[in-house]
Amino acid sequence: MPRYTVHIRDEWLAVPCRDPTYTIQWLGYEALKRYTKNKPDNGGINAVKDIRFVTRRCQGQGLLDGDDTIEDVLEDNDFVEIAIEGDTMSPDFIPYQPGVSHLTAAYRESDDNLFLDGNSLTSTDLVNLGRGLYKIKLTSEAENGVVKSRELLDTIVKENKVVYGITTGFGKFARTVIPVHKLKELQENLVRSHSAGVGNPLSPERTRMLLALRINVLAKGYSGISLETLHRMIQAFNASCLSFVPEKGTVGASGDLAPLSHLALGLMGEGKMWSPKSGWADAKYVLEAHGLKPISLKPKEGLALINGTQMITSLGAEAVERAQAIARQADIIAAITLEVLKGTSKAFDSDIHALRPHPGQIEVAMRFRALLDSDHHPSEIAESHRFCDRVQDAYTMRCCPQVHGIVNDTIDFTQKIINTEINSATDNPMVFAERGETISGGNFHGEYPAKALDFLAIGVHELAAISERRIERLCNPSLSELPAFLVNEGGLNSGFMIAHCTAASLVSENKVLCHPSSVDSLSTSAATEDHVSMGGWAARKALRVVEHVEQVLAIELLAACQGIEFLRPLRTTTPLEKVYDLVRSVVKPWIKDRFMSPDIEAVHRLLLDQKVWNVAQPYIEKYNMELLPESRPISPTAFSLDPPASPRKRIRLE
C-alpha cells in the first residue's frame, strides 16, 4: 500500500493510501484528521472539513492541485506539506547556490556501498560519495579501532582525569575543569556556540562530501567517538539527511569549526536539515520522518565532530577533480583551435620535449600528437596549408605543452596533498588507545590544504588565460583568416563578439581570485589560535576559479567548432571530428545571432560530464599504446578516468 509523509505545522505524519485514485484534497484532509487526533485540543482545529489549506511538495515547494489524483502527481513515500490558511509556515525554502543539484534533480538511492576505514579514501571516491553514487559502511577493523578508542575515553572520565576537551573547557578555557555531571552539556554547548557561520548553505553534494569525510576521519579510531554516534552519522548520510551548513565562517585553524559545528548541530536534531524527499525543515522532524534518532553527545564527542580540516579538504577534493577533468579537455580544445587557425604540429615533436622532461609537458605534447599526427589521423585542413610560408605559431598554440603542462603537474601535486589530508586524523586531542593516553597537538591546522589549493587556483587559472587569447585569435579576422567574430553578415550579426568579452571578464575575475588567501592570518580565540590558514576561503575560491576556467574553455570550444564551419568541406582529424560531432549534438552552428547563453551552458555541461574527454580518450590511448616501449612517455593507465576499483571497498547489495 502506498504511503505519503505529510508535514503539518511541526509534525510529520505517515498517511497510507489504499486507493491512489483519491485526490490530493483527500490526502490533505486525511492528514489533518490524524494531526488533530494526536492533539488534546485538536490542535485548535474544531472541524477538519471547514479547514482551508494548500498542499505542496516539500522538495522545491511546488503547489499541488487539490483535484489531481495522487497517482498522477505523487510517487510512493513522497513528502508533502500542508499549509493551513492563517498559519505562519515554519520551514521556508532555503535556496542553494546557483546550479542544478544532482541530488535535488535526479536523486536515486544507491544500492552500492563504499567501505570506509579512514586510510584509503580518494578524492574521486569522495566526489562520487557527494553525488550519491554510494552508501557508506565501516570495515570491521575500523569499528574495532573506534571501540578501543572510546573505551580509553570512558576510563578517563570514570577516573576524573583532567584532559583537554574531555573534562575541561576549550581554547582560552582549557584550564577550566568541568564537573562530570555537566560533561554532556559541555559538548552540546560547544556545538551550539560554534554554529556561527553565515552565507548560503553548501549544496547537497558538498554537504554529503563534508559528512562523508568527517565519517572517514572518525573511522580512523583516534577521535574518541563512540560507535553508536558514528553509526547514526552513517545512517543520516545514507538517507541523505543533510544539515544546513553555511559556506562562510572558518579560518581553518582549529580546523573548520563553524561549518563542522553546523553539520553536527543538524545531526543533534537542531537547526535546519534537508533531504531529497523532505526538502528543508527543522532537523528533528527530517530525522524523525526518516526513522532516525538524533545523536546524543558523550564526553569529547562534540569536539570530535567539529575539530578538523574537512570543509577545506572536501571542497578541495572537488576542486582538484574538476581541475583534472578540465585540464585533460583543454588539450583537446586547444588542438581544435590550432587546426582551425591552420597551425603546425611540429612544435609537439617528442624530441623537443625530451630535452625538458617535465612530466606534464611531455604528457600534453603527446596528447597533441595523438590528436594531430597525420600518420595516424589524416587532416584535410592540415593538408590544405602544408606548403604555406608560416615558420612558427603564436605562443598560445606553440607553447601549449609548456603552459598546460605545469597545470597538470600542479594538479598532481595538489591531489597528493588532498588525498593525504582526506585520510589524516586532524582533530585534537588525539586518542591513542594502544598507548593508553591522549595527546594534544596541531593536526587541525589547515595550512597544508590551504597552501595547496592556493597553488591549484594559480595553476589552473592559466588554462583560462591562454584560452582567452586563443578565442581572441579565432574572433579577430586579421589573425584567423576567418570572418570577424565567426559569423556571416557581420554588423547585422555580432557572432562571438560578446562571448569573447565574457571569457575576458572571467579571466579578469580569476586574476583577483588567484591572490592567495593562505598568506593571511588573523589571531583568534583570545590569541590561543594566533596563526590561522584561511583555508576555507582558499578552497571556495579555488572552486570558483576552476568553474571560470571551465566556462572560458566552453566558449573556446564553441568558437573553434564554429571556425570549422568556415573551413568546410575540409575535415580535421578523426578524433577532433568526433569532438565536433559531440558539440553539434547539443549546439547548432551559428548561422545568425541568437540567445547564446544556453549554448555556453550546454557545452559547459559536456565538459563537467567529461564527455569531450570520453570521446577523444580512446584515440589518445591507442596512439600511446602504439609507441615503442622505450619511447612511450607515460603509462596508458594515466588515461584512466577513475582509479581501479578495490573489491574490498565496493560491494553491491543484492
CATH of the domain at 245: 1.10.275.10
Q: Nearest-CA neighbor of 407 among 331, 325, 463, 450?
A: 463
635 has a pLDDT exceeding 50:
no
Identify whether the C-beta of residue 616 lies closer than 8 Å to the C-beta of residue 578.
yes
- The number of folded domains in the chain is 3
**Beta strand extents in 112-181 (DSSP E only):** 112-116, 135-138
Model confidence at 159, in pLDDT bands (50, 70, 90)?
confident
Cα angle value 636/641/643 (rounded, 5°): 85
Identify whether the C-beta of residue 207 lies closer than 8 Å to the C-beta of residue 201.
yes
pLDDT tens digits, one per residue of 199-247:
999 999 999 999 999 999 999 999 999 999 999 999 999 999 999 999 9
Q: Nearest-CA neighbor of 127 among 624, 497, 610, 617?
A: 610
Q: Which of 403-407, 583-587, 649-653 has the lowest mean pLDDT?
A: 649-653
How far is the C-alpha of 476 from the C-alpha of 206, rounded, in Å? Answer: 41
201: β partners? 246
Q: Which of residues 157 and 240 earns the better pLDDT score?
A: 240
How far is the C-alpha of 375 from the C-alpha of 362, rounded, in Å? Answer: 20
- The last residue of a domain, from among 289, 307, 325: 307
How far is the C-alpha of 115 from the C-alpha of 648, rounded, in Å? Answer: 8
Q: Are residues 167 and 26 in the same domain?
A: no
Q: Are residues 548 and 471 in the same domain?
A: yes
pLDDT tens digits, one per residue of 79-93:
898 888 876 544 444
Q: Are residues 542 and 563 in the same domain?
A: yes
Identify whether the C-beta of residue 524 lies closer than 8 Å to the C-beta of residue 253.
yes
Four-residue CA torsion sign, 388, 392, 394, 398: positive
Radius of gyration for the chain, computed over Cα atoms and rounded to the nearest angstrom: 28
Say what the pLDDT of residue 223 is: 94
Say what the pLDDT of residue 646 is: 44
Max mean pLDDT among 34-38, 173-177, 251-255, 578-582 falls in 578-582
Q: Are residues 364 and 471 in the same domain?
A: yes
Strand pairing category for 135-138 and 79-84: unpaired
- The last residue of a domain, from among 307, 330, 352: 307
Cell numbers given for 294: 538524533
Amino acid residing at 364? V
Identify whether the C-beta of residue 32 lies closer than 8 Å to the C-beta of residue 11.
no
Q: Are residues 593 and 464 in the same domain?
A: yes
**Beta strand extents in 240-341 (DSSP E only):** 242-243, 246-248, 272-275, 279-282
Say what the pLDDT of residue 248 is: 95
Residue 421 within a domain: yes
Helix (H/G/I), strand (E/B), else coil: 362: helix
CB atoms within 10 A of CB 528: 14
Please give the order of strands across the beta sheet that includes 135-138: 135-138, 112-116, 650-652
Residue 98 within a domain: no
Cα angle value 345/350/354 (rounded, 5°): 140
Domain span holding position 160: 113-307
Mean residue pLDDT of the chain comes to: 90
Helix (H/G/I), strand (E/B), else coil: 29: helix
Say what the pLDDT of residue 626 is: 82
Helix (H/G/I), strand (E/B), else coil: 81: strand
Residue 225 within a domain: yes
Helix (H/G/I), strand (E/B), else coil: 115: strand
CB atoms within 10 A of CB 403: 20
Say what the pLDDT of residue 637 is: 41
Identify whether the C-beta of residue 251 lies closer than 8 Å to the C-beta of residue 239.
no
DSSP 8-state secondary structure symbol assigned to residue 437: E
How far is the C-alpha of 67 from the C-alpha of 79, rounded, in Å? Answer: 18
The label of the residue with cell 558523550 reads 298
Residue 95 within a domain: no
Phi, psi of 430 (to 5 degrees): -85, 140
- The last residue of a domain, from among 84, 104, 125: 84
How far is the C-alpha of 292 from the C-alpha of 271, rounded, in Å? Answer: 16
Helices (H), 195-278: 204-218, 227-238, 257-267
652 has a pLDDT exceeding 60:
no
Considering the candidates 4, 134, 164, 285, report the single residue annotated as catalytic: 164
CB atoms within 10 A of CB 197: 23
Max mean pLDDT among 7-16, 56-65, 236-245, 528-537 falls in 236-245
Say what the pLDDT of residue 593 is: 96
430 has a pLDDT exceeding 70:
yes
Q: Judge if the upstream peptide bond of residue 569 is cis by omega within 30 degrees of 0.
A: yes
Identify whether the C-beta of residue 360 lies closer than 8 Å to the C-beta of residue 412.
yes
The label of the residue with cell 490533505 reads 28
Q: Are residues 274 and 355 in the same domain?
A: no
Q: Which of 331-340, 455-464, 640-649 has the lowest mean pLDDT?
A: 640-649
Say what the pLDDT of residue 638 is: 44
Please give the order of strands across the beta sheet that includes 272-275: 242-243, 272-275, 279-282
Residue 94 within a domain: no
Alpha-carbon dihedral 411, 412, 414, 420, rounded to 10 degrees = 150
Taking CA atoms, 190 is separated from 299, 307, 408, 530, in Å, by: 11, 11, 42, 20
Phi, psi of 23 (to 5 degrees): -90, 165
For the question of residue 164 being annotated catalytic, the response is yes
How far is the C-alpha of 220 from the C-alpha of 406, rounded, in Å? Answer: 34
The label of the residue with cell 580512446 reads 618
Say what the pLDDT of residue 132 is: 93
Say what the pLDDT of residue 651 is: 47
Model confidence at 95, in pLDDT bands (50, 70, 90)?
low
Kindly report the CATH number assigned to the domain that includes residue 386.
1.20.200.10
How far is the C-alpha of 213 from the C-alpha of 259, rounded, in Å? Answer: 13
Say what the pLDDT of residue 88 is: 53
Sort 402 into a burial class: Cβ within 10 Å, 0-12 / 13-18 / 19+.
Answer: middle
429 has a pLDDT exceeding 60:
yes
630 has a pLDDT exceeding 70:
no
How far is the C-alpha of 256 from the C-alpha of 249, rounded, in Å? Answer: 8
Residue 148 within a domain: yes
Say what the pLDDT of residue 157 is: 85
Q: Are residues 514 and 542 in the same domain?
A: yes
Taking CA atoms, 130 is separated from 76, 202, 649, in Å, by: 25, 12, 16
How far is the C-alpha of 595 from the C-alpha of 574, rounded, in Å? Answer: 30
Model confidence at 101, in pLDDT bands (50, 70, 90)?
low
Residue 101 within a domain: no
Q: Which of residues 107 and 480 earns the better pLDDT score?
A: 480
Cell numbers given for 393: 605559431
Residue 360 within a domain: yes
The label of the residue with cell 520522518 reads 289
How far is the C-alpha of 104 from the C-alpha of 60, rounded, in Å? Answer: 8
pLDDT tens digits, one per residue of 316-350:
999 999 999 999 999 999 999 999 999 999 999 99
Q: Are residues 246 and 362 in the same domain?
A: no
Say what the pLDDT of residue 628 is: 52
Cell numbers given for 57: 511538495
Q: What is the largest CA-CA distance in the chain?
A: 93
Phi, psi of 145 (to 5 degrees): -65, -40
Q: Are residues 424 and 552 in the same domain?
A: yes
Q: Are residues 281 and 386 in the same domain?
A: no
Q: Nearest-CA neighbor of 353 among 414, 410, 398?
A: 398
Kindly report the CATH number assigned to the domain that includes residue 32.
3.10.20.90
Q: Are residues 285 and 152 in the same domain?
A: yes
Q: Nearest-CA neighbor of 99 among 202, 197, 199, 213?
A: 202
Q: Are residues 147 and 196 in the same domain?
A: yes
